[in-house]
Amino acid sequence: MARPFRFGANMLTIESGAGWRQKCRRAEDLGYDVVLVPDHLGMPAPFPALIAAAEVTERPRLGTFVLNAGFWNPALLAREVATADLLTGGRLELGLGTGYVRAEHDTAGLPWGSPGERVDHLVRTIEELDRSLGDPEHAPQPAQQPRPPLLIGGNGPRMLRIAAQHADIVAFAGGRAAPGKPEGTLELLTPDALDDTLAVYRKAAADRTRAAELNILVQQVKVTDDRRAMAREIAGHGIGVDEEQALDVPTFLFGTTAQMADQLREHRERYGFSYITVLDPSMEAFAPVIEELKGS
């Protein structure tokens, strides 16, 4: 049986306290199930932003999407997580990843490290969070026991194995580092390449007793009566897919409301994606699709 859809809005900008609270209330009114905050320099600080969101909403969960583990000391992060979970009334979902933008580490004066070193630090962070938050003597104690649900984002084989072992939710960006381009530049995975990525994950997760929820980040939502023209435009940007592939990639959603809803049903059937995240510039455009898929 297919897992029911959930929908998240990833909030990228903050202009004022009042504007932030209004945007979070609007996400709830539009039917979003999760209000999310990324972890990049130049964007809102995750934990205070989520606590402010909790104060003006009642229903949505509140998540980091995703924390750059390299920014965080594991023991101090455990304190942040427990406090934020308490202050949000047990609505926190903790998203973690390795980070992928070296310039942010350079700006912050933090070590970048090799890919293996960044993954090692992520594993240490996960293990320390499990140890600290699972300790009945840890203060403060999170509202959710033994810890808030853990989302892990990543696409490489080792990251997929780690997600299979630890994550309640596994997030797929549907992209990868673009070869021959500046560090931090991403290109889209083709539908077939994404199938291969999911196959690696499913093999690693074969022994799980409880299946993880699978998330996909939709980079753009475009309402149009001409899907073919939009696919041609996407392919023209040189981001890793041709026109035919652009029609099927789950990282771009375009068409009429009914067509986009059908795309998401197809992607849930093919890939298992039931938790759909959109960026806040697409929040209003995507809302009719949420209404179309309500309860399915």
Give a yes or no: residue 68 inside a domain: yes
Instruction: Report the C-alpha gap between 33 and 27 in whole angstroms.
Output: 8
User: What is residue 277's predicted lDDT score, i.e. its pLDDT?
Assistant: 98
Give 230's contacts (C-beta < 8 A, 6+ positions apart). 222, 224, 246, 254, 255
The CATH number of residue 255's host domain is 3.20.20.30
Give a yes or no: residue 255 inside a domain: yes
Strands (DSSP E) contained in the chain are 6-10, 34-37, 61-64, 67-68, 92-97, 150-153, 169-172, 175-177, 186-188, 213-218, 220-223, 252-255, 273-279
Give a yes or no: residue 121 inside a domain: yes
User: What is residue 65's predicted lDDT score, i.e. its pLDDT?
Assistant: 98
Check residue 255 and give left, alpha or beta (phi > 0: left; psi -120 to 50: alpha).
left
Domain around 195: 6-293
Give a yes or no: residue 99 inside a domain: yes
Q: How many folded domains does the chain comprise?
A: 1
Reported as half-sphere exposure (CB side, CA atoms, 13 A), residue 254 has a value of 20
Q: What is the mean pLDDT of the chain?
A: 95
Instruction: Report residue 224's pLDDT band, with 50, 70 and 90 as the boundaries.
Output: very high
Give a yes or no: residue 16 inside a domain: yes
Give a yes or no: residue 166 inside a domain: yes
Tell me: the pLDDT tens digits for 184-217?
A: 567 899 999 999 999 999 999 999 999 999 999 9
248: amino acid identity, one letter? D
| pTM of the entire predicted model | 0.96
User: What is residue 178's predicted lDDT score, i.e. its pLDDT?
Assistant: 64
Output the six-digit token pair for 267: 């992607």
Tell me: the pLDDT tens digits for 112-139?
A: 999 999 999 999 999 999 999 999 999 9
Give a yes or no: residue 267 inside a domain: yes
Cβ atoms of 11 and 36 within 8 Å: the answer is: yes
More confident residue, 131 or 175: 131
Give a yes or no: residue 1 inside a domain: no
